Structure 1
Amino acid sequence: MYLVYIGIEYMFYDVVISGAGPVGLFLACELALAKCTVLVLEKAEHPHSPLKQLPFGIRGLSAPTVEAFYRRGVLKELMVPQRLKDPFGNTGKAQSRRQAGHFAGIPFYFDDIDTSQWAHRLPSSTDTMLLSEMEELETVLARRAQALGVVIKRGVAATGLHQTGDGVRVESDGQSFQGKWLVGCDGSRSVVRKMGGFEFAGTEPEFTGYSAQVEIADPEKLSPGRNLTATGMYFQSQPGFLVMQEFDGGASHGAGPVTLAQVQQVLRRVSGTDVTVSALHAAATWTDRARQATSYRNGRVLLAGDAAHIHAPLGGQGLNLGIGDAMNLGWKLAAAIHGRAPAGLLDSYHTERHPIGAQVLDWSRAQVAAMRPDPHARALSAILRDLMETRDGATYIAGRVRGIFMQYDLGDGHPMVGRSVPNFELEDGTTIGELMHDGRGMLLDFASNAALKTLAAEYGDRMKYVAGRAKDQCGLSAALIRPDGFVVWASGQQPHLADAGRAAASWFSANPR
């Protein structure tokens, strides 16, 4: 619908999203899949950047993100995860063990991980970790969003907002855009967060991080791989591509364009060598500042991704945390827009995601504490290294890094409640993930109970009924699955219809229609 007022054209959208990064675009796809009208505003005129491309643009996708992309049919469109397998350089002849990741620069290895401890991982489950490229992610998600009817306006930055009782007006250099809801997915320096009056609490940085593409005149002076030193850390993913950390309290971040002389000085201090940088092609700085919005919602304005939480990019947790926000928020906001949200459903976005964000911030802080160039940190690091070389230690760290243990607190009940549903493979070869491409909830019935089929029918197109046995049912007879793939009710024996009905009403609608 259009409205012309004082010479300005307004179009009313269900949701306006500020930010066309992976989080904003994935959220736009979720909303459009649920038949909402969506406008995405992005301040950058062009989506391309060397820092979004390999190797700087590399991002690890953890298990919840891989599952989310698989459940929406996005994973098969990504080519980089299919061809890029090893970010740790496990190709040299001297490598006798394959590195699976790191915590605070301390490696852990595949042969130390006992995946049998990760309950409910099935042969049909998706990978627990894949590698991706930011530019490809944004390209694929933008294409999907536009195919679903999302409008993307680039070179348009939000400069003001005004909330009313039934919507939000977003201003941008003389233009106005109207939505019922506004979601800030506009990064760590979020304008929406600042204009929306959100409190952003946390801790200040201890180091400045650098990502730089350089040419080095005497590369033999630098050691390969990740190197923790007396003054910080440096890492070469491949010749000429540097990541450095200098513990200066974050003083050099945001101090202006990074120069060749600055990169050389930092590299010499951190590496303890007189290495010479002969050319600088690209550079950016970052810090370990760790902050989180105390609330993810203020009226009709919500936050997701880096707009809601920031931390050091150690272990690649940021993208995964943001995609989790979008997957959680999308179906709930759509239900509110369509008048089908039970009481408290939209508020459960903050209730569920804020604790997950807080855990990731503490995970980042713990790594920084172990990387400080002081005797206390070195002592802590030595103990961590010993623990990570044990089977249980490596399995725990790997599980945390890959999001295996993530569970929402959805109350007492079956141990699977609050967890991501296993990717059950039905007898005909179909998997649960493949059945979730349409974004609907699901009542899964391994016992083909007629009463459960009747219950699912009461919710019409909001819930599909899937019956039939699976090759491995993990001891379940039935489960109710939200559109984001999380289990909200499960039964290990003959299901109790009243319990199933209460769970369905709590998450889908108190008044089915």
Structure 2
Amino acid sequence: MSFPHETQVLVIGAGPVGLAAAIALYQLNIKVTIVDGSSALHKGARASIVHSRTLEVLETLNLAKPVIDKGTPADHFTMRGKTEELLTVDFSLLKQDTQFPFSLLISQELIEKIFVEEFEKLGGTVHLNKKVISIQPIDNSDNVTVFFEDGTSIITSYIVGADGIHSIVRTTAGISFTDPFTGKQYDDPKGSYELIVVLSDLFLEEPLPEKISRNALTIHLDKFLLLLPLRSADEGNGPFWRIGINFPNGADVPKNPSKELQKLINERNPWPTPITISSIISASRYRVRVAQADKYHSTIGNTNILLAGDAAHIHSPTGGQGMNLGICDAIAAAQAIHAHIHSDSPKPERDEIFAAYSTNRHIIGRRVIGTTKGLTTVINSNRGWRRLIRNAVFFVLDRFSFAKRAFVWRVSGLVNRDV
């Protein structure tokens, strides 16, 4: 399909967030174009869990089943200190609350592949190699012209900015990006990192330690080691593992994690049975700061823009919240645009639709950031008196059903139904 001269809605960013927005808009019979600056489907170790609330939202697009069919439903995950079990997070406690009482283990790469296939089935096209260089208002118009590095351009009436941490949409609109709890700017050179982690996708040799689950997430907290089984996006490659290794601020993090990964695993493996790498698919280090856009809706000229996903918020990956939050943003943004287009109300009242989107998603985003900050504190509390307090908190959570259920309610995202 040739690149159009104009579109009703332009989605910038073709990760799972942008794709979810494009699919939702297409299903609502809105003319949508989606672009991405990259040349191919994103690869590498990134998001890997889809929670209950996200599956409920995907169900409204008939996307829950295709996603579930390609993933591994896990009704629990286990947190351990060294080898001792501290807490089992039991999603089966949600059986009376949702048709999806589990977390789904599935790689972001596979999610994107499913979403691209679904979008193409609808008749859409993902336009790659479309790096945005500027967004210019058109005088006396509700439209803008978006210019790309390849010399092309497109006119649009609405923009969904799903273009990541360094969002040109957010920057052009002049929206600030700060930690909602400390007020620090994301790009403050004096700002500290919330989490420093090496993430790797790899194949492991059998046998593995008996207590490492083959169908659920296992986290060892004392010397942080995360092991999560996943399915490959490439048919025939079989199951692989995502491994996460956390480093404290100031630690010497390897510049080339692949070369030192086996050594790092050996140092952190608490079991007598070795965890041996067969082959490495990818290995990257991530330094994560916290930030949230101060609003998720603004205008460039007279054109409405909505932010979703990492363009609106970035935070620690603990709890597997980022992609989930972004997908829910995206579908809510599409619904808001649909309502705005079809509203017969005067402009000030119509624009309240976007104000509500911004307010509600900001509340949810701040809540999720608070949750991830708490979970990150748990991860970093692995020595001395902090470790004792951590273990005491888990002792209470594990023995009081109401506390355990409240924790699962929050991690699953179902807590966000009320906003």
TM-score by length of 2: 0.77
1:283 is displaced (CA, Å) by: 0.7
CA deviation profile, 1:367-416 (whole Å, cap 9, x unmatched):
1112224434313311221122121221111111112222445xxxxxxx
| Secondary structure, counterpart of 1:205 in structure 2 | coil
Q: Which residue is 2:58 aligned to?
A: 69
| Secondary structure, counterpart of 1:283 in structure 2 | strand
Q: 1:22 to 1:276 in 2, by over 3 A?
A: closer
Query: What is the one-letter code of the residue matched to 1:318?
Result: G
1:136 is displaced (CA, Å) by: 3.2
1:143 is displaced (CA, Å) by: 2.8
CA deviation profile, 1:233-273 (whole Å, cap 9, x unmatched):
11233687521101125885xx96x3434545655665699
Q: 1:339 to 1:85 in 2, by over 3 A?
A: closer
Aligned residues: 374
Q: 1:260 to 1:406 in 2, by over 3 A?
A: closer
1:278 is displaced (CA, Å) by: 8.9
**Counterpart-to-counterpart distance in 2, 1:127 and 1:276:** 33
1:76 is displaced (CA, Å) by: 2.6
| Secondary structure, counterpart of 1:155 in structure 2 | coil
Q: Which residue is 1:311 aligned to?
A: 315
Residue 335 (1) aligns with residue 339 (2)? yes
Pick aligned residue for 1:397 from 401, 407, 411: 407
Q: Which residue is 1:422 aligned to?
A: none
Q: Which moved more, 1:153-162 or 1:258-267?
A: 258-267
1:293-312 matches, cutoff 5 A:
293-299=293-299, 300-312=304-316
Q: Which residue is 2:172 aligned to?
A: 195
Q: Which residue is 1:212 aligned to?
A: 200
Q: Which residue is 1:60 aligned to?
A: 49
| Secondary structure, counterpart of 2:50 in structure 1 | strand
1:144-159 matches, cutoff 5 A:
144-159=118-133
| Secondary structure, counterpart of 1:328 in structure 2 | helix
Pick aligned residue for 1:228 from 202, 209, 221: 221
Q: 1:233 to 1:345 in 2, by over 3 A?
A: same
| Secondary structure, counterpart of 2:112 in structure 1 | helix
| Secondary structure, counterpart of 1:301 in structure 2 | strand
| Secondary structure, counterpart of 1:169 in structure 2 | strand
Q: Which residue is 2:258 aligned to?
A: 260
Q: 1:153 to 1:103 in 2, by over 3 A?
A: farther
**Contact 2:80–2:220 (CA<8 Å) still a contact in 1?**
no
- Structure 1: gaps of 5 or more residues: 3-8, 87-97, 410-513
1:345 is displaced (CA, Å) by: 1.0
Pick aligned residue for 2:369 from 352, 361, 370: 361
TM-score by length of 1: 0.64
CA deviation profile, 1:172-192 (whole Å, cap 9, x unmatched):
112212211121112233333
1:138 is displaced (CA, Å) by: 1.9
1:169 is displaced (CA, Å) by: 1.9
**Counterpart-to-counterpart distance in 1, 2:389 and 2:165:** 30
Q: 1:19 to 1:250 in 2, by over 3 A?
A: farther
**Counterpart-to-counterpart distance in 2, 1:334 and 1:359:** 26
CA deviation profile, 1:78-97 (whole Å, cap 9, x unmatched):
3545x6234xxxxxxxxxxx
- Structure 2: gaps of 5 or more residues: 185-191, 213-217, 230-239
CA deviation profile, 1:470-505 (whole Å, cap 9, x unmatched):
xxxxxxxxxxxxxxxxxxxxxxxxxxxxxxxxxxxx
**Contact 1:58–1:131 (CA<8 Å) still a contact in 2?**
no
1:280 is displaced (CA, Å) by: 4.7
Higher RCO (C-alpha under 8 Å, 6+ residues apart)? 2
**Counterpart-to-counterpart distance in 2, 1:141 and 1:85:** 19
**Contact 2:319–2:375 (CA<8 Å) still a contact in 1?**
no
Q: Which residue is 2:234 aligned to?
A: none
Q: 1:126 to 1:221 in 2, by over 3 A?
A: closer
Query: What is the one-letter code of the residue matched to 1:24?
Result: G
**Counterpart-to-counterpart distance in 2, 1:272 and 1:140:** 37
Q: Which moved more, 1:183-192 or 1:295-304?
A: 183-192
| Secondary structure, counterpart of 2:5 in structure 1 | strand
1:421-500 matches, cutoff 5 A:
none
**Contact 1:212–1:280 (CA<8 Å) still a contact in 2?**
yes
1:214 is displaced (CA, Å) by: 5.4
- Alpha-carbon RMSD across the aligned residues, in angstroms, is 3.6
**Counterpart-to-counterpart distance in 2, 1:215 and 1:259:** 15
**Counterpart-to-counterpart distance in 1, 2:209 and 2:61:** 47
Residue 283 (1) aligns with residue 291 (2)? no
| Secondary structure, counterpart of 1:346 in structure 2 | helix
